[in-house]
Amino acid sequence: AQTVTQSQPEMSVQEAETVTLSCTYDTSENNYYLFWYKQPPSRQMILVIRQEAYKQQNATENRFSVNFQKAAKSFSLKISDSQLGDTAMYFCAFMNSNYGGSQGNLIFGKGTKLSVKP
């Protein structure tokens, strides 16, 4: 069974600084997808970034980028120029590749609580 591990329960960063959140996963599959979701306090979960395992290039979305190391099964999230609005729980998630009608549920880590301080 696939598992996702986030080893940092809490982190803090000063506004405008850069922070990296760690995520490792375990799978025997070769094709899969990885995601980072953000869950602000009392608000709904939103997608930050996604990565296809077959792509060697790391995904980027504005201030958010990932360091995807397939052999090491590592998928870290870097947030540059941190803003107060980045304060949230961040969840790393894994999805098996699915084709046609097969299962596509997400497997989540326990999350990292990020606090951005002014």
Residues that bind another protein (CB under 8 A): 4, 31, 33, 35, 37, 43-47, 50, 52, 91, 93, 95, 97-101, 103-111
CA count, 13 A, side-chain hemisphere, 110:
6
Nearer to another protein, 86 or 90 (CB): 90
Minimum CB separation of residue 52 from another protein in Å reads: 6
Nearer to another protein, 57 or 118 (CB): 57
Minimum CB separation of residue 54 from another protein in Å reads: 10
Tell me how far the alpha carbon of residue 74 is from its chain's centroid.
10
